[in-house]
Amino acid sequence: MNSNEIDIHKELKKYFGFNQFKGLQEQVIKAILAKENTFVIMPTGGGKSLCYQLPALVQEGTAIVVSPLIALMKNQVDAIRSLSSENGIAHVLNSSLTKTEITQVKKDITSGLTKLLYVAPESLTKEEYVNFLQNVPISFVAIDEAHCISEWGHDFRPEYRNLKNIIKLLGDVPVIGLTATATPKVQEDILKNLDMSDATTFKASFNRPNLFYEVRTKTKNVESDIIRFIKQHKGKSGIIYCLSRKKVEAIAEVLQVNGISAVPYHAGLDAKTRAKHQDMFLMEDVEVVVATIAFGMGIDKPDVRFVIHHDIPKSLESYYQETGRGGRDGGEGHCLAYYSYKDVEKLEKFMSGKPVAEQEIGFALLQEVVAYAETSMSRRKFLLHYFGEEFDSETGDGADMDDNVRNPKTKVEAKDQVVK
């Protein structure tokens, strides 16, 4: 079918049951159907998957989707299969498949049944798979979580660097890169490393107007300050992020002792306990989860009312992702970070054990966090500027939603604050 003849609204309803596109989806899909290289930058939850799933479903051939996490791929394949009567419509190709399963996958692709093939980047380097994919019609290659290609992103995967060469072996197929990382540096890296500087770029706004940003100086009273904050938000759900597992345990205990229902969450707990604590939070059996950054990926609780950082995050990118778990329903979302220069030094010391290149990047990212914490300007403007986005701190959406704008500091106060 010619791409001009496809009624994408009808297909949206037919496959996904949605009545309208979200944000930039329609424009992105049109670009993909026009065989353009396309670069999509949308915040988490923006609806990036549908941008490639719909074009894959309505076009000839198989779309290859590169994704870094096996669990994520499995979820997506299950979701696509539930939209169709044919199991073969979507497949995962990875190292866990048996010979028989691989034969079935190949058969479904060859017969034209498979519209979406999810692959891990390391599987795509396998000669056997590349040889096979060279000889079947490919509609396009989508690279999800494309920031994994950049050392400036929060999740660098060296295997992503090989993708460009493998895609070239597949012939002249359009490439779609997708990410929720909005920093200009990462974007440049993606376009360069995927060799797609000609890509049509679609970037959604990263502004979250209902989130209130606040930074407090971290003193020895930080725990009682947090307790007071939570008691002022009684009955509401919140997340407290700490740097170490030890701190997570300690804070959770202090909260419990003070009559606040809280559970810890970190990678040192066994899977069963982690799942239990996550469920307790989702089901509102507890108000607060105290966690390391291990908590939050894919958590979709709409009414998280506060996100507290007991320790500063290692980059503004992480800060944006972690605070982004607040106020998903559009309601209140208070983002409070405690800041002390001692914590910065701690992080620097921690990083000094890493390879030099990694260290340099780590320090540079951390300096941005320091600048954010110490600024007296609109925090929203600062954050959005970091993501390459202009924000008018007088008339923009959510303009008065931070401590600096609500209570402007005098110059002297602002200086005092950074003295340790």
Which residues sit at the interface with Mg ion, rule CB under 5 A?
Answer: 48
Half-sphere exposure of 202 (CA within 13 A, CB side): 24
What is the spatial distance between Cα 373 and Cα 403, in angstroms, rounded to a whole number? 11
Q: Are 255 and 290 in contact (CB under 8 A)?
A: yes
DSSP single-letter state for residue 112: T
**Which of ligand ADP, Mg ion, none has residue 46 at its interface (CB below 5 to 8 Å by kind)?**
ligand ADP
Q: What's the token pair of residue 356?
A: 């030099």
DSSP single-letter state for residue 199: P
- Looking at residues 132 to 171 of the shown chain, list those that interact with ligand ADP (rule: CB under 6 A): none
Query: How many amino acids of this chain bind ligand ADP (CB under 6 A)?
Result: 12
237 lies in the binding site for ligand ADP (CB under 6 A): no
- Picking from 352, 323, 327, the residue whose alpha carbon sits closest to that of residue 335 is 323
Q: Are 363 and 174 in contact (CB under 8 A)?
A: no
Q: What's the token pair of residue 273?
A: 């306990």
Please, which residues bridge with residue 93 across strands?
A: 119
Between the alpha carbon of residue 179 and those of residues 20, 163, 381, the distances in Å are: 22, 16, 21
22 lies in the binding site for ligand ADP (CB under 6 A): yes
Helix axes 356-374, 341-351, angle to 10 degrees: 170
**Which of ligand ADP, Mg ion, none has residue 121 at its interface (CB below 5 to 8 Å by kind)?**
none
* Binding region for ligand ADP (CB under 6 A) out of 19-27, 181-189, 270-278, 385-393: 19-27
Whichever of 44 and 217 has its CB closer to ligand ADP, that residue is: 44
* Binding region for ligand ADP (CB under 6 A) out of 17-25, 309-317, 355-363, 395-403: 17-25
Answer for which of 37, 38, 49, 193 binds ligand ADP (CB under 6 A) is 49
* Binding region for ligand ADP (CB under 6 A) out of 16-24, 66-74, 316-324, 398-406: 16-24
What is the spatial distance between Cα 388 and Cα 205, in angstroms, rounded to a whole number? 10
**Which of ligand ADP, Mg ion, none has residue 139 at its interface (CB below 5 to 8 Å by kind)?**
none
Answer for which of 24, 48, 214, 301 binds ligand ADP (CB under 6 A) is 48
174 lies in the binding site for ligand ADP (CB under 6 A): no
Answer for which of 42, 119, 289, 308 binds ligand ADP (CB under 6 A) is 42
**Which of ligand ADP, Mg ion, none has residue 381 at its interface (CB below 5 to 8 Å by kind)?**
none
Query: How long a stretch of residues is the chain?
Result: 420
50 lies in the binding site for ligand ADP (CB under 6 A): yes
* Binding region for ligand ADP (CB under 6 A) out of 37-45, 67-75, 154-162, 213-221: 37-45
**Which of Mg ion, ligand ADP, none has residue 318 at its interface (CB below 5 to 8 Å by kind)?**
none
Q: SS in 3 state form for 253-299?
A: HHHHHCCCCEEEECCCCCHHHHHHHHHHHHCCCCCEEEECCCCCCCC
**Which of Mg ion, ligand ADP, none has residue 160 at its interface (CB below 5 to 8 Å by kind)?**
none
- Picking from 61, 395, 419, the residue whose alpha carbon sits closest to that of residue 209 is 395
* Binding region for ligand ADP (CB under 6 A) out of 42-50, 58-66, 127-135, 337-345: 42-50
CA angle 132, 135, 137 (to 5 degrees): 115
DSSP single-letter state for residue 179: E
- The residue type found at 383 is L
**Which of ligand ADP, Mg ion, none has residue 289 at its interface (CB below 5 to 8 Å by kind)?**
none
**Which of ligand ADP, Mg ion, none has residue 200 at its interface (CB below 5 to 8 Å by kind)?**
none
As measured in angstroms, the least distance from the Cβ of 48 to ligand ADP is 3
Answer for which of 29, 47, 63, 322 binds ligand ADP (CB under 6 A) is 47
What is the spatial distance between Cα 144 and Cα 130, in angstroms, rounded to a whole number? 19
* Binding region for ligand ADP (CB under 6 A) out of 18-26, 90-98, 131-139, 381-389: 18-26
Pairing of strands 333-339, 304-309: parallel
Interface residues with ligand ADP (CB under 6 A)? 18, 21-22, 25, 42, 44-50
